[in-house]
Amino acid sequence: MGVLDGIKILELARVPPAEMPGMMLADMGAEVLKIETPEAERPGGEEWVRRTIFAFTNRNKRSMTLNMKSAEGQAIFRKLAATADVVVEGFRPGVMKRLGADYETLAKANPRLVYCSLSGFGQDGPYKDRPAHDMNYLSLAGVLGLIGEADRKPAIPLNLVADYAGASLHGALGIMLALFARERTGRGQHVDVAYLDTSVSLLAATPNMRFFFSDGLAPRRGEGFLGGSYPYYAIYETRDGKLLTIGCTEPWLWENFCKAIGRPDFTRFARRHDQFVRAANAEEEAARREIEAIIKTRDRDDWYEFLVKADVCVGKVYDVEEMVKDPQINHRQMIVDTQHPTHGRVRQVGIAIKLSDTPGTIRHAAPMPSEHTEQVLQGLGMSAAEIAKLREKGVVE
């Protein structure tokens, strides 16, 4: 039994970060119905079909098409929302109101509804109507300017931060908090999650921001003890041209590393309190270069096994093909297979949250668009003739 069995969620999302909260809740047993826009033409062919089925953020969901611009489509959605527990939407502010599906409208018929809006800048403020993407949010949040080496442009961290660690995870948590509050009050509420807000919040938790508000010490790219300039927290190239990460920010772990590489004299370069925002000095940089020369004398995997035994914080810089074969990742069931009825094995990333009593499950791969439209409409009491008429009008596919 999933912890969220019986929770009904309607999802209106067009991008994976807005789809991920629903997937996380679906993994835990929620019934998630993805509302998709009917399209006259979809990309065809077996390749596209398989890509759709492998879509990570849509697994465990059902799918129906619904033309929300039509009066009939809006009426059907309101009927679905009247018995739903959660609505998740990822549009710009104002779009859902124009579609007759905003929180205020739906809450009148269903006051227990939890309504989560994921938008770039939130539902209010001077930027609320502006378009943007992950990198834009990170730049405005002060995050992007801190990532990378000091003498280069900032490094773009995929779209992990604003999109997923930010909006997706905060969205899922916000929904769960609102559901928990509903157990106490009997009322739902609007969960307003902004990609920019969550990026600022994540930055505030980092060590190099610790003393900004108290002492005015502003971090800079490539500076601070996590910036990559210090020998105890750096990326080193090995003899075989691969990369190794050393992350010994605790003095005793750094001591283990220095002894292991035969340079116990380097223990004096352990992390100090004055390194939160400054870059490494000339002596510290020289020590890092000496360590680089030492690390280049052996291959990556050889160093890794050796340093693990020495109780050192060390990591191999994997490519994705290596990552999916890692024994720890596989032991934790983070790479799993599901069976599709027509397309066979579908490989997926597993469930990161491990619950001892009510674990999540991957019940099926992502649905094809409109796979469950007829089933959903029948559940609303519609006859075959009524469904056929909706198809003729382009309300559903």
Q: Are 373 and 65 in contact (CB under 8 A)?
A: yes
Q: Encoding tokens for residue 216? A: 């005015």
Residue 111: alpha-carbon gap to chain centroid: 29
3-class SS of residue 275: helix
Cβ contacts of residue 105 below 8 Å, gap of 6+? 78, 97
Q: Are 112 and 86 in contact (CB under 8 A)?
A: no
102 is an active site residue: no
Q: Are 79 and 10 in contact (CB under 8 A)?
A: no
Tell me the one-letter amino acid at 199: S
Q: Please name the residue that has the structure tokens 């002060």.
A: 142
133 is an active site residue: yes
Smallest CA-to-CA distance from 375 within 392, 387, 389 is with 387
CA-angle at 239, arms to 234 and 243, nearest 5°: 35
Interatomic CA distance for residues 269 and 94, integer angstroms:
55
Q: Please name the residue that has the structure tokens 């770039």.
A: 120
Interatomic CA distance for residues 87 and 10, integer angstroms:
5
Cα–Cα distances (Å) from 279 to 145, 172, 387, in that order, read: 15, 37, 66
Cβ contacts of residue 305 below 8 Å, gap of 6+? none
**List 27, 163, 170, 372, catalytic entry:** 163
Interatomic CA distance for residues 356 and 333, integer angstroms:
14
In three state form, how does the secondary structure of 228-292 look? CCCCCEEEEECCCCCEEEEECCCHHHHHHHHHHCCCHHHHHHCCCHHHCCCCCCHHHHHHHHHHH
Phi, psi (5° rounding) for residue 266?
-80, -5
Q: Catalytic amino acids?
A: 133, 163
